Chains A and B, each alone.
Chain A
Amino acid sequence: MFRSISRRDTIKACANAYAAVSIGPKAFETLYQANSREPDPYLNSRVPDIRSDFVREMLFAGVAAARNAGADYADVRATHLFHRRISGSDSFGWMDTESVTIGIRALKGGYWGFSSGCVWGVADADKLAIRAVDLAAVNAAEGLGREVHLQPKQVFVDEHWENPMDLDPFEVSREEISDYFISLRRFSLTLPDWRMPSPWLGVFNKTRKAFADTDGSYLTQVITNSAGGMSWMLQGKSGSTMSAGLDTQMILSTDGWERFRNPSIRDSIREIHAELKEDVSYPIKPVEVGRYDAVMDSGMVSTMVSSSAGVAAQLDRALGFEANAGGTSYLKDVEGMPGSYRLAPASVSIKAGRSRTGDAATVKWDDEGMAVSDFHIIKDGVFTNYITTRESSSWIKSSESGRSSVACGTSSAPEAVDLPMSHTPNLEMQPGSSNATFKTMVESIDSGIAVKRGNFAMDFQQLNGSGHGTFFEVKNGKRTSLLVGAMILNRAPEFWSSISSIGGADSLTRHVDFSAKGEPQQRVPHSVWAVPVTAGQISVIDSQRKG
């Protein structure tokens, strides 16, 4: 039967709680309310704390059941996700959503089985574990031989981590959040010529997660992330209409509410206003098809970083495991390319990892219990590493060099009900040594184009892309007109190799993208740090005129 936490489990948890109370308030706090801060009155207090013995017993029950059922390896994950969405214009509304799930993954005879549901309890963990092992066993019996080698890992026991922040958004009242957004909106309306400020939006997630496996790991984490948004539209005399918002200031991150309260956000609104006012002031002209030197802003470059260096470097994708879903990868020579394939000039390096405070994909351990570590995907222009998991890291082993890849903690899934897989971690494009900014880079080209608020849409190998955005003609270092219908066509390697200059540290900004993969598809966010670039001989077509 479909039910929530079972009566038996509740009684057991209550007994544990009673026992904890009997040995003192501190133990009780550890058991059910480890977080001593005042709980949000809207959170469902019935769901046991992720650090409670209840959750621990449930996870180890699942591990034991899987082992007893014959699993060669198994891991159990539990998540309690609390999602809050607050939005409005001059007033506000909010919606709370809660999701409690558990998922068990078992390996037997070289095959994986996964079973998940939304009932927390020892009995249900047992049931899911047996089912996961059964699924693996069925495929091991039916299928051809398959071997799985899991990369050894350091085992962490009873460790806990929460992402650091000054102000937990779930400890800030909805009224304070809405008042703040309303004040920003009202402030923005004091600036002239805006059209239709959008409703504002704040989205907050708190994911409490626990992990245990047959290696003996037991880890708990609390990840809080937040995002917000508000945008404005401006119409120019020539009829062009453009919109822009607090994209980089309020992008999804694991920062706390303090980031939203940054006083410089009002300055940012002024800057967006001034920028939009300038952007719509240019006369409109149709684009002329051809090749141009192009300056692209950091947001546009971030989408190329994310696709051609992030998605393309997922080893499972390169080897065809995603061929029936999102596609494969142009980084397809998995033995030959790492360490030798020059993708970009030596000035370009892209680091990956999940350790940077505040980034969207930051955790301490991934969904396989691996401690996260940083690595380079592109170093000094050369492709160096694939993104791998404990299993896929063994898929590359050059017989000549003996080199193998190392899993760096990139396994994840949105919730425990989803099967974890290798997703793109946070990415950081290293800024150049100069002080170049988008503005100075535009000033340095005689003739070309500049693209703002753009993005690249890549093909099923992350190889060929189309670039969209707001295009400007540039003459003698100045933007002269707004180009209508322009679209970039390019190949990722040509894009990277055509880069002639990259922005400096002051122009480095954080963006967010989602790793979308799998069947059924999962979407997991990651941050992408990027700088503006100038690229030579970029092919531009008219997207509103057919061939």
Chain B
Amino acid sequence: MIKRETEGEWVNREESTRIAEKIVRYCSSSGKVNVTIKSWWQGELRWARNRVSSAADRRNLTVTIQRDIDGSVANAETNQTDEESLRSLVRVAERRVLEQNPGQIIPFNNLEEPILPLPDVQIWSDATSGATARTRSSLANRLINGSERSKMIAAGYMEMRVGTRAVLDMDVSGDNKGPKRLESSLADKVFYDEWTHAQCSMTVRHPAGVGSGWAGRSAFGWNLIDAAELADRALDKCLASINPVRIEPGRYTVILEPDAFCELVEPLMGVAPMQRQAAETIRDVGSPFWLSGDEPLQIGRSRLGLKVLDERITISHDPIHPLLGVIPEPGLHSVTWIRNGVLESLQTGHEYARIELDQLVGTPFRPSFRINGGSSTTESMIAGTERGLLVSRLFGVSNTDRKTLLCTGLTRDGLWLIENGKITQAVNNMRFLESPLHAMNQVLDIGQESPVFRPVRNPAGIGVTPAIVPSIKVADFSFTSSIDSI
């Protein structure tokens, strides 16, 4: 293992265990305690107008405890790990528990979940944790050079992050008369994960604002990101997008590049649309996968088992896939949501699975997915298009109807007209009004899959959110208006 310049910038397993042990000792009565310690370090570099505009190196942590005493649950959080702060944290949570009526607060984490295996995921890269400020700086200047030489202006961002999470979930045994005396270390009871996350993206614009191109990629490993290729691609797109012309809105055959396709399907892959509970209500509550309800029988039926998309579409997630690792959660198994267009699984919590489905393990939500690709290339799809549009990227996608998942949003950083198998000109960006469900029922061709830009926004959030998505060619994609923003 290489010596990391960043060594010691995050809370390691031993420190996490020590913090957790202290918290358990400070608990003043029996009950349950859940300790979650998250920490992160990240090295950041931004550039704009062909110069590095800021370089940063930041770190922080959170210690969150949840106390459960006789069914009353309370939480408190700090980012300080000295003894007095941790004592104060426990006192605040316990005081809050005592002020409640039993069972009054719904716990954030269900402490009653069965013990389930953790998947063995791949989310750590020495290339990310070991990248230095000089690495970032040298690379950024190389990426800027291409734009500088072409008299274009570049803005971009590069980030390397290390995150950790330690969770201790235990009964605080013993009497109610004072601090606990732990007979042994809790090291074997603390679940500890470390992960890395890297991202690089770049926008190249014409100095007069008449063209713009973008490329980006995120991954757990910095070595998985070809930054030079991203810079070349962003520059090429910018040069190809200069002086777009206006075309009439309407329905077009579109080729969505992987990043654009990913942004279109985001509203489908969220927590709400894929929730089985919402799809099996007696009355329709707006789930796209609700089928019917029977009031006398008090039964709701979802579309599970029915064809909902084109048969070439398969959406799945396997946490042990080398490019789809996420922070491991108990019971996070491989799942196929939609297989060959047929709805095969929906998200279920372990509790719903046990009570309603008589299954021990649910199918938890995961912030990662894969849409299987085909064999076509973007070039071959263009060659096979008589008239259509090539879409580079989408912006501001928002849902206007929960049931149909009809969405509106804009194209950004490159939109091109395809005529007779060739890109003929750059065109003005347009507003679209389309449903990912409809689009994936109008599939003409599927391109090769590739990892996309899907960075984690909040360092203390859910860790890593990778996705693998192909480019796709879709008929009758609806555009409602042309816009003049570039």
Distance between B465 CB and nearest chain A CB, rounded to angstroms: 14
Contact A2 B486 (CB under 8 A): no
Contact A135 B201 (CB under 8 A): no
Contact B49 A321 (CB under 8 A): yes
Is A543 part of the contact surface with B, judged by Cβ < 8 Å? yes
Q: Which residues of B contact A487 (CB under 8 A)?
A: 400, 408
> How far is B61's CA from A117's CA once the two chains are assembled, in angstroms?
9
Q: Which residues of chain B in 367-423 are interfacial with respect to chain A, using CB atoms and an 8 Å cutoff?
A: 395-396, 398, 400-401, 406, 408, 410, 412
Distance between A539 CB and nearest chain B CB, rounded to angstroms: 8
Contact A118 B79 (CB under 8 A): yes
Q: Which residues of B contact A418 (CB under 8 A)?
A: 58
Is B141 part of the contact surface with A, judged by Cβ < 8 Å? yes
Residues 15-54 of A, flagged 1 when their CB comes within 8 A of B and 0 if not, give: 0000000000000000000000000001011110000000
Contact B156 A142 (CB under 8 A): no
Contact B80 A95 (CB under 8 A): no
Contact A320 B76 (CB under 8 A): no
Q: Which residues of B contact A118 (CB under 8 A)?
A: 59-61, 79-80
Q: Which residues of B contact A135 (CB under 8 A)?
A: 55-57, 133
Q: Which residues of A contact B486 (CB under 8 A)?
A: 461
Q: Which residues of B contact A324 (CB under 8 A)?
A: 46, 48, 155-157, 201-203, 214
Pick from B77, B99, B478: contact of A546, CB under 8 Å? B478
Contact A139 B137 (CB under 8 A): yes
Distance between B134 CB and nearest chain A CB, rounded to angstroms: 5
Pick from B15, B51, B60: contact of A143, CB under 8 Å? B51
Distance between B215 CB and nearest chain A CB, rounded to angstroms: 10
Q: Considering residues B11, B59, B76, B395, which has the most beta carbons from chain A within 10 angstroms of its beta carbon?
A: B59
**Closest partner residue, chain A, to B201 (CB atom):** A324
**Closest partner residue, chain A, to B485 (CB atom):** A461
Contact A328 B480 (CB under 8 A): no
Contact B58 A3 (CB under 8 A): no
Pick from A2, A325, A547: contact of B478, CB under 8 Å? A547
Not counting A316-B48, A324-B214, a sample of 11 additional A-B residue pairs whose C-beta atoms are within 8 angstroms of each other reads A2-B39, A46-B88, A95-B96, A98-B78, A118-B60, A142-B141, A143-B52, A143-B141, A144-B50, A319-B49, A417-B58
Residues 87-113 of A, flagged 1 when their CB comes within 8 A of B and 0 if not, give: 000010111111111010000000111
Q: A42-B92, A138-B133, A487-B400 are in contact. Are A2 and B61 (CB under 8 A)?
A: yes
Contact B57 A114 (CB under 8 A): yes
Q: Which residues of B contact A91 (CB under 8 A)?
A: 100-101, 104
Looking at chain B, what size class is its interface with the partner chain? 35 or more
Q: Considering residues A113, A132, A138, which has the most beta carbons from chain B within 10 angstroms of its beta carbon?
A: A138
> How far is B100's CA from A174's CA once the two chains are assembled, in angstroms?
12
> How far is B96's CA from A463's CA once the two chains are assembled, in angstroms?
48
How many interface residues does A have (CB within 8 Å)? 75
Is A134 part of the contact surface with B, judged by Cβ < 8 Å? yes
Q: A93-B104, A112-B54 are in contact. Are A459 and B485 (CB under 8 A)?
A: yes
Q: Which residues of B contact A244 (CB under 8 A)?
A: none
Q: Which residues of B contact A116 (CB under 8 A)?
A: 56-60
Count contacts between A and B, CB distance < 8 Å. 238
Q: Which residues of B contact A42 (CB under 8 A)?
A: 92, 95
Q: A93-B74, A96-B77 are in contact. Are A320 and B54 (CB under 8 A)?
A: no
Contact B9 A112 (CB under 8 A): no
Q: Which residues of chain A in 504-547 are interfacial with respect to chain B, using CB atoms and an 8 Å cutoff?
A: 519-521, 541, 543-544, 546-547
> Which residues of B come within 8 Å of A, CB atoms?
8-11, 15, 39, 42, 44-46, 48-61, 74-82, 84-85, 88, 92, 95-96, 99-101, 104-105, 133-134, 137-138, 141, 144, 148, 153, 155-157, 159, 201-203, 205, 209, 212, 214, 249-251, 395-396, 398, 400-401, 406, 408, 410, 412, 429, 431, 433-434, 457, 459, 478-481, 483-486
Distance between A414 CB and nearest chain B CB, rounded to angstroms: 12
Q: A98-B78, A321-B155, A323-B203 are in contact. Are A547 and B48 (CB under 8 A)?
A: no
Residues 123-156 of A, flagged 1 when their CB comes within 8 A of B and 0 if not, give: 0000000011011101100111010000000000
**Listed A/B pairs (17) with beta-carbon separation below 8 Å:** A44-B88, A91-B100, A93-B96, A95-B96, A98-B79, A99-B79, A101-B79, A114-B55, A144-B50, A321-B48, A324-B201, A332-B209, A459-B395, A459-B483, A489-B481, A491-B484, A544-B406
Contact B76 A97 (CB under 8 A): yes
> Which residues of A come within 8 Å of B, CB atoms?
1-5, 42, 44-47, 91, 93-101, 103, 111-118, 131-132, 134-136, 138-139, 142-144, 146, 174, 316, 319-325, 327-328, 330, 332, 417-419, 457, 459-461, 463-464, 466, 468, 487, 489, 491, 519-521, 541, 543-544, 546-547
Q: A44-B78, A487-B408 are in contact. Are A323 and B137 (CB under 8 A)?
A: no
Distance between B91 CB and nearest chain A CB, rounded to angstroms: 9
Contact B478 A112 (CB under 8 A): no
Contact A96 B9 (CB under 8 A): no
> How far is B48's CA from A135's CA once the two chains are assembled, in angstroms?
17
Contact B105 A138 (CB under 8 A): no
